[in-house]
Structure 1
Amino acid sequence: MEKQQKSGHLVFVLYPFQGHITPMLQLATILHSKGFSISIVHPELNSPDPSNHPEFTFISISDKLTESEVSDGDIASLMLSLNKNCAAPFQQCMKKILHQKDSHDHAAGILYDTLMYCAQTVADDLKLPGISVGTSAAATLLLYPAFPHLDGKDSISEIEMPELQSLQLQHMRALLLQNPTDAMTEVRAAMTNGTKSSSAIIVNTIHFLEQAALSKVREYFPAPIFTIGPFHKFAPTICSSILMEDANCISWLNKQASKSVIYVSFGSLASIDEQALIETAWGLANSKQPFLWVIRPGFVRGSEWIESLPNGFQESLGERGCIVKWAPQKEVLAHCAVGGFWSHCGWNSTIESICEGVPMLCKPFFGDQVLNSNYICHVWRVGLELQNKLERGNIEGAIKKLMVDMEGEEIRKKAMDLKEKADLCLREGGSSCCSLNELTKQIYSFDYKT
């Protein structure tokens, strides 16, 4: 038992985008509270601010990314370059860490974002436990990995349990196989191999939300899976935003009626054209609901910020609309004035909304956002899908249905029911709390072997 009293040292490896950085730092905070010391290894791109986390050691490694690689929108090629460019610097970094750390604070494992699969190769080379961290829904482990026997013409239907049919995994996997790029093929294979080689898998989800998907995931990946989400509820105070949050919107929310505000935010990467902005603006205005709208600089293609809004639009709203560059989202969703969330359906946004009982209007843009939208609208039934291109009449009608019409009453009720179930999972004896305790024991068991 004496060895268990040692302070184990965990090394986290970040994938350098907001939706991935945030949950990884939340998880680091959670495990730090369990007695582990933490090092954060991150590429140069979108480096987190170490001053927000003085309890961690931050180490930057060279990523050698060019400006065109970052900006051209080819996600698979960017991921491939990141992993190839960071592999050697990360290996050197780990050797330095292993050399420096004394016997009372030695490396107990490497925890890496699933998309930074090069970290698993380094962990294997150094004979350290590698732990894959899924910052998306568990079902993405059925969507993106390359399973050779599932990628045949007919056998892909094997992953379609009745409980999963509403996710349309078969359709989405089929789309991945249409004209795949070399980068996509290589990334899928490497990511699959990395996850299969891992000593454990952590997913930022709640067991009851994805019970069917988790059951199927366990058939393909041998490592134990720990569902300890939502991370943000176990680590509620951390600051990890790359963009400056405008807290003035909270003062505006304080003046609004309960459940009256539609909060609109499309995340840190999506973009729209000027016409879509104008249609969105008039759809929000015509709904007559108060709205808090996040328009990130660069969100509108070809514009700096909101200069493309119709002349006099903001003035015509008076106090009914509030537009900010970035918002403290968790605080916004927890505010009593917020009654709906129009979202791009990123996983962090999805699980944060569920935890506050806020129904969602879904407009996914790319990647796993489509999968999350299917969960929200067709499995959990706590949201509405805004289909086709953005058009003011459709937007107005969808907002009214979600927030005030009788048609949306069942959606609003289901959203509150999910919140109550999520609350139970976080309590002592709840599934997420128990899974966190089991994860801590598992890491200590690795500690005995290293």
Structure 2
Amino acid sequence: MKSDKENNFIGLKLLSAFSIGCIGSGQMFLPIFYKKVLGLGNDKVGFIFSITPFVSFIAFPYWTSLVDKTGKYKETMIKNMLIALMCTLSIGFVPYLSETEWIRILLTSISCFGYAFFGYPVIAALVDTVILRVLANRKDLYGRQKIGVPIGFATSVFLTGFLTEKLDSLYALFIVFSIYCLSFVITVAVIDLEPHYQPIENIDDTYGSMSPTTDAASAAAVVIEDMDDGIRVTPDPSMWHLLQEPEAVRFFTFMTTMGFAIAVVQAFLYLFMENDLHASSSLVGLFGPLGSVTEIIVFFFFKQVLHRLGARRMLIVSQCIIVYRCITYVICVHISWGAYLATATQLLHGIGFSLAWSAAALQADQIAKVNLKSRAQGLLNMAFNGLGSGVGALVGGLIYEKWGATVMWAVVAVLASASIVLYTSDFVLRTIFLPISVFVKKHKK
């Protein structure tokens, strides 16, 4: 077993940096490409953006289950990201293939489907699965490995904004996306993905997470005896075994609402900056560095923050930040210096994201049995990046197109506030989430 000093895990930090760089250059700027280059309305932009989370709702459990069973982490991640690269680059050819709107939407949707099914599960789920796998029982070092996230996001957003203005073309996003995607593939190919610490089973819950009780864990491991030959077989538990505790049901529900809120920000914040606040591409490009400054600090001191606040409070603080940001965006529409205020507010993005995702990934890992670790990350991403994000992008686009940005941000603020009440209320836990968990238990025995 290697010491902490020997294990700097540079490769894991690079994985985080290059994977999030694909999102910073691709997913964050593509809505502007759809609007300005393809000439699509906000509702259609929301529809196309929602393809990724909705498709990944199916793709997450498929790929996480596959790597759980086969252990082929490298092969799966490399192959999927290369396919995702080709799908993303193909979007750039759409304006040259047709002038008809429905054909452009169809071709773009097909490309987004390919990216969502092959690439996005790697970025959003398998990277975390690999990091947690390598760390084994040293999950408290998780935050340090995610320091690459703000660095990758900052550099990708800044480079995309800078090149877009210098080249006077939104096609700069495809250049930056290709650089980060290929760098990710090379990193996966050369680093060691085997556990670096001795795995320890049945670790006590140190971080205020929701580890299953012994009874629940044993209940999930159903043993079936074949009466013909007397062989006792333990069936492979499904993802539904993760929902047999009311706290787990409440956690994944809360992450769905958080996914809704963050999806609206991801899909329409950059578009909102350019269309409603008339910000320049270079000003939008500052979003990456500003958000990453605070994100790096939180990730670096993640271990101390985790032990002081606990995962539960970290998630609540993160959702409160979303509420504050949305209220601020409403105010920005009505003041002359709104673009600068919105840009300064991006400092809170780093705090909110690092708190939310670090705490969520650890909680999902700790509520899962050993052979369900990857599937726990898959279910987390189904809730956060799948169902929540898909509905958020779709509904956000419809509201933006019909009633404008002010109403859109107000709706998100109200929903996020309500989700905090649901997450902290014992009454809701007893009346809603407990019956759901009991229902799952009965139908999975």
- Indicate whether the TM-score tops 0.5: no
Structure scoring higher RCO (CA < 8 A, sep ≥ 6) equals 2
| TM-score normalised over the length of structure 2 | 0.26
Which structure has the highest helix share of the two? 2
More strand by share: 1
Give the alignment's TM-score, normalised by structure 1. 0.25
